[in-house]
């Protein structure tokens, strides 16, 4: 069956489409994070993924509430980007034979995912602003702030994990 | 490639970026052509020239480490560009399509910011300071390109409101 592709007649339609895509992305992250928690060796990294899982569950709830108010329903549209980012990370992680190097690869993949969300949410916030939906702007702002924080936390863990990965080579 | 050290992870991530940049040099002319706003067209064309330099910079880095840049397809960028192209096609020419192009362009920039941030950190950790500086330069350009798109989106926003 060929899916009917909706046209985008106005900014509101683009806004709804991208909200539904991000909803799918966040749902994929909720499914993917437990595997990342399990794969990570570093305790702090495990914890960071764990708390980001809880945050992401809240992001899903927020998006659902925005969509329900706006469109009367919150139906995700499968986000292929997230699927490809997860696949790319899985491939890289599986090719890593040393645990510390694997943690570094996990962080690299997770940061690409964070940045995707920051960009997607940033665009949505802009659309909400143009459309005069100030409550949505505030909600999206909160999510962007949390994604930014998660990204920074990963950078600080990477600073510590990478030297460990370097020692892996020497050992 | 079996990745059993940071050196190998570094090379693998660089190859990923090399493929990503190549895909971007192919996508940018299409995005510029589809754009209506002159300012957006100019920003995309300017970023194409920058991207071509970034490809050369990566080639220079591969030469420094004695590795081939080829051998990897960046699936992440492929996904980002496909999604962007879909939204671009579904909107008729004009401000809404411009907004879709900007939203897609910023996803591309953020992918690169994350990836360049990663390889720059690796280069520093591996004691390759000269390479780290080259990567830092590109990282700064990607951040500037993202900010430029935000500025353009403010202008396009006014057009959207006028069109409404």
**CATH value at residue A95:** 1.20.1260.10
Identify which of B79, B99, B125 has the shortest CB distance to residue A80: B79
Contacts of A155 in chain B (CB under 8 A): 117, 121
Report pLDDT digits (tens) over A76-114.
Answer: 999 999 999 999 999 999 999 999 999 999 999 999 999
Nearest residue on chain B to A17, alpha-carbon basis: B87
For residue A150, being part of any structural domain is answered with yes
Report pLDDT digits (tens) over A35-48.
Answer: 999 999 999 999 99
List alpha helices for chain B, DSSP H.
6-34, 38-65, 75-90, 95-125, 129-163
For residue A1, being part of any structural domain is answered with no
Q: What is the CATH number of domain B6-163?
A: 1.20.1260.10
For residue A109, being part of any structural domain is answered with yes
pLDDT value, residue A160: 84
CA dihedral of B52, B56, B61, B64, whole degrees rounded to 10: 180
Domain hosting A82: range is: 11-170
Residue A104 CA to residue B63 CA, distance in Å, equals 24
pLDDT over 70, % of chain B: 96
Query: Residue B126: exposed, middle, or buried by beta-carbon count in 10 A (0-12, 13-18, 19+)?
Result: buried
In this predicted structure, the answer to whether residue A157 has a pLDDT above a threshold of 60 is: yes
In this predicted structure, the answer to whether residue A1 has a pLDDT above a threshold of 50 is: no
For residue A124, being part of any structural domain is answered with yes
Q: Is the ipTM of this complex over 0.90?
A: yes
For residue A138, being part of any structural domain is answered with yes
Report pLDDT digits (tens) over B8-51.
Answer: 999 999 999 999 999 999 999 999 999 999 999 999 999 999 99
Looking at the structure of chain A, the number of domains it has is 1
Look at A126 and B121 and tell me if their CB atoms are within 8 Å. no
Please check whether residue B115 is in contact with residue B42, taking contact to mean a CB–CB distance below 8 angstroms: no
Q: B62 to chain A, minimum CA–CA distance in Å?
A: 20
């Amino acid at each position: 069956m060929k899916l009917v592709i909706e046209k985008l007649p106005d900014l509101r339609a683009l806004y709804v489409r991208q909200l539904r895509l991000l909803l799918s992305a966040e749902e994929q992250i909720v499914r993917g994070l437990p595997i990342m928690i399990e794969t990570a060796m570093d305790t702090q990294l495990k914890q960071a993924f764990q708390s980001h899982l809880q945050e992401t569950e809240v992001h899903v709830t927020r998006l659902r509430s925005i969509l329900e108010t706006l469109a009367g329903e919150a139906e995700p549209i499968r986000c292929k980007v997230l699927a490809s980012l997860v696949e790319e990370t899985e491939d890289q992680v599986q090719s890593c034979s040393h645990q510390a190097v694997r943690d570094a690869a996990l962080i690299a993949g997770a940061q690409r995912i964070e940045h995707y969300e920051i960009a997607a949410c940033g665009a949505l916030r802009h659309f909400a602003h143009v459309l005069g939906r100030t409550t949505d702007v505030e909600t999206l702002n909160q999510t962007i702030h949390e994604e930014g924080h998660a990204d920074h936390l990963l950078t600080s863990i990477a600073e510590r994990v990478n030297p460990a990965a370097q020692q892996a080579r020497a050992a | 490639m079996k990745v059993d050290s940071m050196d190998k992870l570094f090379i693998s991530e660089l190859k990923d970026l090399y493929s990503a940049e190549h895909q971007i040099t192919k996508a940018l002319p299409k995005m510029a052509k589809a754009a209506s706003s002159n300012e957006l067209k100019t920003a995309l064309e300017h970023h194409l020239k920058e991207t071509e330099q970034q490809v050369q910079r990566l080639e220079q880095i591969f030469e420094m480490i004695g590795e081939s840049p080829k051998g990897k397809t960046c699936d992440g960028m492929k996904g980002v560009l496909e999604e962007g192209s879909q939204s671009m096609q579904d909107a008729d020419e004009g401000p809404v399509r411009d907004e879709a192009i900007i939203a897609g362009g910023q996803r591309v920039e953020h992918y690169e910011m994350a990836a360049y941030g990663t390889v720059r950190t690796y280069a520093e950790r591996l004691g390759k300071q000269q390479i780290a500086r080259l990567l830092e330069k590109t990282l700064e350009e990607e951040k500037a390109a993202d900010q430029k798109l935000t500025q353009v989106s403010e202008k396009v926003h006014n057009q959207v409101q006028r069109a409404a």
